[in-house]
Amino acid sequence: MAGTSYKGAQIEDIDHFIKGGGIDSTREKEIGQHIGYRYDVNLLPDYDRLTNFLAKYMEFMGWDDLNWLEDVHMGYEDGRPAIFDRNINGWVSIPEVMELPDNQQDRDMLAREMLIKFQMSERHPLVHLRKAYGKF
């Protein structure tokens, strides 16, 4: 990978990422965790599964790919499906009545869509901060 000291082809121990922490690149050391999709291609988004909203959003934004949304996945907090919002450093719970797809790729696409919609809604905490402290 460009800009890192990672040389995947030079790793000789097949269990390197199981035995070790998997934190090898400069960026991984900076953030204190491994970047999963560097090792598991199943974590890469399947663009055939884009929701209509995400496809339109990407077109509006002028993106050829999901950009920062590639790192957004459906997770769990206290046993409930949730999405981690880095802007508020917290989990956003999925409504209990929502039916989730059986496929992880589809759940991740749904998580990306829901996160964008939440970040654009009046219910997002940063909206209140902007109203209180915005200069313009």
Express each pLDDT in 25-82 by its tens digit: 676 666 666 556 555 555 567 788 899 999 999 999 998 888 788 788 888 888 889 9
Signed CA dihedral, 118, 77, 80, 68: sign only: positive
Q: Does 2 fall in a domain?
A: no
- Model's pTM, two decimal places? 0.63
Q: Does 50 fall in a domain?
A: yes
Structure tokens at 45: 């988004």
What residues contact residue 28 under an 8 Å CB cut-off, 6+ apart? 22, 34, 35
- Residue owning tokens 């409930």: 80
Torsion of CA 78, 79, 83, 84, to 10 degrees: 30
Domain coverage including residue 113: 46-127
Q: Does 3 fall in a domain?
A: no
Q: Does 110 fall in a domain?
A: yes
